[in-house]
Structure 1
Amino acid sequence: MAPETFPQMLKRHRTSRRWSQQRFAEALCEASGRSTVTRQEVYRWETGRRVPKFWLPHIATVLGVAREELEDAIAAAAAPSPPTLDDILPGKPPVADLSPAGRRIGKTAVNRLSARVHALRLADDVLAGHDLIDPAFRELEAAVVLLADSTYSESVGNGLRVAVGELAQIAGWIASDAGRHSQAERTYRLGLSAAREAGDATLAGQLAGSLAYQWSNIGREFDGAALAEAALEEAGPTAPPRARALFWDRIAWAHTKTGDARSAMRALGEASDALSDHGEEDDPAWLYWVDAGELQVMEARAYTELRRPLRAVPLLNDVLSRYDATHTREMALYLSWLAVAYADANEPEQAADIARQVLELSADLGSDRTDERTKVVRASLEPFRDIPEVREALGAA
């Protein structure tokens, strides 16, 4: 008989207590003193989609099972397969999928290209830069060839330029996440040129703002602040409310990185005001992720960076309590700010607890952003190295 796998064991023990997945999640939260386990996470464990590591001792305590027994069951289970780009972005190679080069193309080709661009954005939600960079740039190269070598009407041409601009933005973002900052900058500039040629000022602002965000994070803080302001100006007053909120958010971060707390707080207020104007506008697809929760994250990040942890901690805990755990990179990044905020609040045990989760999520993730943040987290814990929990977390690092 095949050994019992971890998902089978977990479900057996849970159902023997007549607990729902929600009740089990609540029991884990009570046992750990944290509120980040959801019913959805229990579902992922029981279907083999994710394997808990940090939560394993708490699961053992709640279920009254030896931790070793759970570890043996995990070893018996097949490792969950992470999503691949082919799962998210199926189909033929971009040029073949759209139209042979040199032929006249119409709106259908633009719609197909736009769909592939959005699929790449969704892939970036769950895959890191090193996993996506090669396919992203193959897509971009194919789209540029299509734009250069095909014939089309003026409106179709503008639609292609917009698609190339949007593809350049997500490819640049992926390159930046992979640590290829020069490649990302060249790509953002390419996209900015395409967006301007198409007359899409909002997209031009998005590309300029993306580059500003990169500059702010790689030591060009004052250049980043100037470019973030220019991006908002480029987009103009007719940009959709969610786009203006995003641009103000980047301005807030840029000023945070320069240490200008007053300008950062003003920009956060402007971002919130802009988002409050959002209604039933026909927004660009790339704004799908901009909501109040994302603004809350940026506010918490700003407070953490400005060494105001008592404001940052409740905001981050609130966001993380309802964040999609399949977005591993973002979860690791947001937890990293929470760990630093706890350290700044002189709560080293809690900081170490969160740091272990950051390290677990970031391991072999393939993201330069998370690699850099783990360094910051470790540095924030160093002053507390004499505390056992901190020493253990640093040892794991």
Structure 2
Amino acid sequence: MTSRLRQARTERRWSQDRLVREICEYARKHLVDVASPASLKVYVSEWENGRRSVSGPYAAILRALLGKTDDELFGSPTPASSLIADGYDDLLGRIDSARTLSLSMVDSFLAQTELLRSFDRQMGAAGLVDQMRAHLDSLEDALTFAVLPDARRPVATALAGAATLAAWQALDVGAVERAWRHYELGKRAATEAEAPMYLAHAMAEQAYVLSDAGRAEMAVDLVREAQRIGGSKVSPRLAAWLFAAEAELCAKAGLAEDCRRALDQADAALPSGNEMRDPDMLSIFLNANHLARWRGNALAILGEDEAVAELYRALEGMDPAFTRATAGLRCDLAQAHLVRGEFGQAREHLQQARLLANRTGSVRHRRRIERLTEGL
């Protein structure tokens, strides 16, 4: 327990005093009673040294602040709901309840995923750990007791989308193993739902876990496998998204020619117009402006001068609601300026990126900011 809680705190570069202040601020905003700052400072020290257990209310606050599950913070997983083996009546009751799962109920699941996606896009994933876990539990429970395929497929599709979102959120807060497991859950659900678009999307996002871990070439292989599986069954916007992801991963693997080819394919596949959202795949946001950011990012990784113009074009058209994406774009610009030896501009963009990353609690962006700062 001790090292995990301390590690989660240090990942955010928070001192114990900073964590105490964050707890107090959270309690003030949410009208929760907590101990005095002086007592909390003692609590934090004792929690991290194993001399005091973390009670339920404080565990909930820590999960929200640090974006981690109980298992990731304290080493003891939250007990999952399970079927009590006290006879067939209970089992049949759950099965009968699942049979009544109507389309409107599935729509409610999708609406909840959309709400969580919107909050995550603007405010970050750190405060959504409990809500996302409860949402996945509800979907998994509904799928477990749905018997026939016509009842299972809609729920499995909803679970595939929610699990992939949960995986990206986990990756953003630095919970790499949780991210990987959620991607695997999303892939299994998409396979059962016979939904190749959802399967291809989950595989392509999972490739970023491999890339972040230093396995860029394996990541390229995985995103290409996602394209193969999706084939002609993916929408044009998702096809463009998959090519853009391939381009970025190729850049990270040092495959410059492959990167440029994939960027051209993404540009050719992308539907015209300013619409950004894919009606067939609501998790996909991509238009010409988003693609300019992706192109600029990939070219910046390759050290190309033309990256700067593409990235400023993307910044000019960036929707301010995409807070986390804007932080990433600022990092891209800093990297592009560093390649050109323009350290003043790079420093300005890193400062803006740091402010946005702190707002969203993005550990993934913070790590990138630190790496780029070393180049100044």
Asked whether 1:235 is paired with 2:230, we answer yes
**What TM-score do you get using the length of structure 1 for normalisation?**
0.67
Aligned twin of 2:175: 180
Asked whether 1:379 is paired with 2:374, we answer yes
Question: What amino acid is aligned across from residue 378 of structure 1 in structure 2?
Answer: T
SS of 1:334's equivalent? helix
Aligned twin of 1:301: 297
| Equivalent of 2:358 in 363, 371, 376 | 363
| Equivalent of 1:254 in 249, 259, 271 | 249
In 2, the alpha carbon distance for the partners of 1:281 and 1:345 equals 36
Aligned twin of 2:140: 144
Aligned twin of 1:125: 121
1:281–1:172: structure 2 CA closer, same or farther, 3 Å change rule?
Answer: closer
Question: What amino acid is aligned across from residue 106 of structure 1 in structure 2?
Answer: S
In 1, the alpha carbon distance for the partners of 2:278 and 2:243 equals 19
In 2, the alpha carbon distance for the partners of 1:331 and 1:165 equals 26
Q: How many residue pairs get matched?
A: 280
Deviation, 1:282, is 5.0
Question: What amino acid is aligned across from residue 320 of structure 2 in structure 1?
Answer: A
In 2, the alpha carbon distance for the partners of 1:326 and 1:181 equals 26
- Is the CA contact 1:159–1:198 (under 8 Å) kept in the aligned structure 2? yes
Aligned twin of 1:328: 323
In 2, the alpha carbon distance for the partners of 1:250 and 1:306 equals 15
1:364–1:124: structure 2 CA closer, same or farther, 3 Å change rule?
Answer: closer
| Equivalent of 1:219 in 207, 214, 217 | 214
| Equivalent of 2:156 in 139, 161, 167 | 161
In 2, the alpha carbon distance for the partners of 1:322 and 1:277 equals 16
1:196–1:266: structure 2 CA closer, same or farther, 3 Å change rule?
Answer: same
Aligned twin of 1:286: 283
- Is the CA contact 1:110–1:156 (under 8 Å) kept in the aligned structure 2? no
Aligned twin of 1:61: none
1:281–1:128: structure 2 CA closer, same or farther, 3 Å change rule?
Answer: closer
- Is the CA contact 2:327–2:357 (under 8 Å) kept in the aligned structure 1? yes
In 2, the alpha carbon distance for the partners of 1:186 and 1:374 equals 26
Question: What amino acid is aligned across from residue 239 of structure 1 in structure 2?
Answer: V
Deviation, 1:254, is 1.3
Q: Identify unmatched segments of 5+ residues in structure 2.
A: 1-63, 65-92
Structure 1 segments of 4 or more deviating over 6 A? 277-281
**What TM-score do you get using the length of structure 2 for normalisation?**
0.70
- Is the CA contact 1:338–1:354 (under 8 Å) kept in the aligned structure 2? yes
In 1, the alpha carbon distance for the partners of 2:152 and 2:319 equals 37
Aligned twin of 1:314: 309
Larger radius of gyration: 1
